[in-house]
Structure formats: C-alpha cells, structure tokens
C-alpha cells in the first residue's frame, strides 16, 4: 500500500529553533564520527523527533559514501532537509566552528609554549564520557537497523572486514548494497516497509513539512559552479598575490586535493598526510602529527580538523612576507576552508537526487544492506576509540594491558551507568566526567 502524506502536515521547524539545536550539537560533538553521529541521532531522532529513523539512516548511508567527514556532511544534509540551503549552511558551519576555534587556540599555545600536555589536562575526563555516548549509539542504532539475521550478519561481516583485515570502507559499502539488493530479490530480505503517517511524531521527517527540492541539470550546474568558485577562489587569489610556490598556495592545493580522496574518515588519509607533511614538505617535525591528532581527538568537531594544525605549523615555519603568527593564522584558515567547502558541495549537489530515490523498494533494500554495514563500521570506530582511550599504548589492534589506565576505566564505567542505568542527559554526563577527570588530573599532579 503506497504511503501518502497526511492532509495536515505538522508545523515545520523554524530556522531559529534549528540553529539553537545545531549550536548544541556543535558543543557536544566530541569523539570522532561515531560520537558525533550519536549526538545527532539522540537529539534529532530521539529527543526532538524532527527526523525519523528511516530518514536519518537514509541520509547517513549517502554521507558514508562521500569523501570527507561524514558526520559534518550528515549535519549539512539534515539541516538542508529541515530548512533548505540556509539550514544546511548553518548546520554545517556551526558543526565545525567550535573545533576551528579550539584547534587554533591550542595551536598558538603549542608554538608558544612548546608543550602539548595542557591539551591532555584540559580534556582528560571527556574521552571516557564520549566512549559511553558512542557505546550507547551503537546499541540504539543497532537495535533499529539490524532487524533480522541477514542484516546482523552483514554488520558482523563489515566489522570483521574493516577491523581485522583493513578492507577499504567504499568496498564494504558497495558489497553490502549489492548483498541487500540481491537478498531482497531472492526473498531473503523482507520487503522494505514504507513509513506510515499514523505512526505518530516519530515520522515527522517523512511528512510534507520537510523541504524538498526537485533535482535538475540546471540546478546542478549552478550549485557546482558556485561551489567550485568558492572552493578554489582563495587559493587562486593567494597564487596571484604571493606566487605559485608560496606555502599558502602549496597548502591550499594539497589539502584541496585531500578533500576529494578522504574516503572512510580521517584515519584513512592521515598516514599519507603525515608522510607528505613531514618528509616531503617539511611542514611538521616527526611526532608533531600525533600531537595534532591528540588536539583533534579531544576537541569538538571532526577528527580531520588535525589538518588545520598541519596548515598552521606549515605556514608558521615559512611565514614570509608575514609574521609567523599571521602566516599561521592564514594557513590554518585556508586549510580549513578548502577541506570543508566541498562537503557542502557533495550534499547540495547530490542530496536532491538521493531524496528523489526514496521509496523505491529495490534501492531501499540495497540501502538497508548499507545501513547494516554502517553499524559494523560505527562499531569499528567505537572499538578503535575505546582501545586508544583506555590504553596508553596499542600495537596495531592489540592493546598493551599493562598500560590500562584505571582512572579512565572507572570514569568510563561511571559514564555508562549514568547513560544506560539512570538515563542521564548527554550534556550532564560530559560535564560530570570532565569535572571528575580534572579532579583526577590535579590529584595525579
């Protein structure tokens, strides 16, 4: 039976109300993509009920296929769904602003004080709470997405493939989509159910209140033209002003190209960036990439924000004709610009087409396979984050058990009890863990 929208759609979400929510998402976006997806799922789907589970996962599936930070792109996508292009711009921009400010401030402290320990002291208690939030997200999303043995098997296989064998994420997604399609055609996978308007508020996102844009060639060309000018315009301006060989132009070109190939999240490209930045360009010294990664892991925003730190140091050490801090500021902002502008392009260009395909049974079946695989990938991110949070040293996938930090373990258990047993709010859990962590850090001296 085809789905039909209700005669009287619910009131749309105002831009002001959405902006306040995106500011809250930005302030809580710790812990990499798994934690950030967990934050958005809890606020958008569970608490506000602005986006349905099906619509949220549909958007997430598309974002996981794109180069760049999937969580930030998911914010742009859902912001666009709720309030059009302006909503997408606000959601995506607010998502990265706290991280930009934090990384910039810590980068200045880093070059002035030459000591990154301040970062660990400030954020010691946050990682355990983020770990609890990520665990809760895996459980909650898994319960909704893995509705039968077939999808549970896909999630398990995806986790095994990426965690133990390092299979590239795009290959996992393509394989899961194909498996979902043929499983549906063979009758192994149940026909995808269409949302029912009578189900209530949790289907708000499938009603007529959401923004819809009809995809067309003309619109696509306009979106592409505007974003290409915005993306590469500053790099061209610096090239005309300072010359092709200036460090700002080199950084703009390098990180602009990285924005196109960063499939599978930040960790998929960091090894290459570190090698190029240290050994080829000389922008960083050995070990400094890990200091930058520590900043990105313990501040809000995507982990790919570590590139901002690389751009900062590269320009700081090659400042002419500017002062070192002025050059570093320009390098930091230019790197951030060329990294995140394409994220808006992928969404504004592709989302209308993705939305127009919703409701097709075979495609929905394929995407349900992708959703199952995504649960496995999120579990992989959660396990990776857990290992590097609880243990001081991890050899590949195996932790050195002697480096287990009992204080972090206890904080993690406390945060999980707060979330799972007492249903504490995410903000209070993060705040409480941060305060306890600061106390432990002070007692340790």
Print pLDDT tens along the chain (445 aa).
343 333 334 457 889 999 999 999 998 887 677 778 888 999 999 889 898 888 888 888 888 778 888 899 999 999 999 998 999 999 999 999 999 998 999 889 888 765 555 555 556 777 788 788 778 777 877 887 788 899 999 999 999 998 888 887 778 888 998 999 999 888 887 755 544 333 334 444 444 345 567 888 999 999 999 999 999 999 999 999 999 999 999 999 999 988 887 665 555 566 567 777 877 888 987 667 767 766 776 778 887 888 999 999 999 999 999 999 999 999 999 999 999 999 999 999 999 988 887 777 787 788 788 888 878 877 887 787 788 778 888 887 788 999 999 998 999 999 999 988 888 876 788 778 878 887 887 777 6
Two tokens at 441? 């850090």
Q: CA 362 → CA 154, 155, 358, distances in Å?
A: 17, 19, 10
CA distance 120 to 426: 21
For position 205, what pLDDT does the model report? 44
For position 73, what pLDDT does the model report? 94
Peptide bond into 321 cis (omega under 30): yes
For position 431, what pLDDT does the model report? 79
Q: In the chain, how long is the greatest CA-to-CA distance?
A: 68
CA distance 92 to 88: 6
Q: CA 204 → CA 49, 86, 178, 242, 246, distances in Å?
A: 7, 20, 30, 52, 51
Alpha helices in 357-425 (DSSP H): 361-390, 406-416
């Amino acid at each position: 039976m085809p789905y039909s929208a209700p005669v009287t759609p619910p009131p749309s979400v105002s831009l002001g109300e959405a902006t306040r929510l995106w500011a809250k998402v930005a302030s809580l976006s710790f812990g990499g993509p798994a934690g950030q997806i967990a934050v958005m799922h809890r606020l958008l789907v569970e608490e506000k009920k602005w986006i349905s589970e099906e619509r949220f996962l549909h958007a997430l599936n598309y974002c996981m296929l794109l180069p760049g930070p999937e969580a930030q792109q998911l914010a742009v996508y859902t912001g666009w769904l709720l309030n059009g292009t302006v909503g997408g711009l606000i959601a995506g921009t607010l998502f990265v602003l706290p991280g930009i400010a934090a990384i910039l401030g810590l980068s200045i402290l880093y070059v002035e004080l030459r000591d990154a320990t301040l970062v660990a002291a400030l954020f010691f208690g946050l990682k355990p709470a983020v770990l609890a939030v990520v665990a809760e997200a895996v459980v909650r999303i898994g319960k909704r997405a893995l509705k039968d043995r077939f999808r549970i098997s896909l999630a398990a296989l995806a986790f095994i493939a990426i965690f133990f064998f390092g299979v590239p994420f795009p290959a996992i997604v393509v394989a899961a989509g194909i498996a979902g399609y043929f499983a549906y055609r063979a009758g192994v996978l149940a026909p995808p159910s269409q949302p029912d308007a009578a189900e209530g508020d949790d289907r708000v996102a499938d009603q007529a209140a959401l923004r819809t844009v009809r995809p067309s060639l003309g619109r696509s060309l306009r979106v592409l033209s505007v974003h290409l000018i915005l993306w590469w315009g500053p790099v061209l301006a610096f090239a005309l002003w300072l010359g092709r060989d200036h460090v700002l132009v080199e950084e703009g070109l390098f990180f602009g190209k990285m924005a196109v190939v960063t499939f599978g999240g930040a960790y998929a490209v960091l090894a290459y960036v570190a090698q190029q930045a240290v050994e080829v360009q000389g922008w960083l010294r050995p070990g400094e990439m890990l200091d930058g990664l520590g900043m990105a892991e313990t501040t809000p925003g995507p982990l790919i924000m570590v590139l901002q730190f690389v751009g900062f140091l590269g320009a700081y050490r090659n400042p002419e004709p500017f002062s070192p801090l002025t050059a570093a500021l320009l390098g930091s902002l230019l790197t951030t610009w060329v990294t995140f502008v394409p994220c808006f392009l992928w969404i504004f260009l592709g989302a209308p087409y993705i939305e127009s395909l919703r409701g097709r049974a075979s495609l929905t079946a394929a995407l349900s396979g992708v959703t199952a695989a995504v649960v496995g990938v999120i579990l992989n991110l959660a396990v990776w984050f857990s290992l590097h949070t609880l243990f001081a040293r991890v050899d590949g996938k195996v932790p050195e058990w002697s480096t287990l930090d009992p204080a972090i373990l206890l904080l993690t258990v406390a945060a999980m009890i707060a979330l799972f047993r007492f249903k504490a709010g995410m903000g209070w859990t993060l705040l409480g863990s941060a305060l306890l962590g600061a106390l432990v850090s002070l007692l340790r001296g």
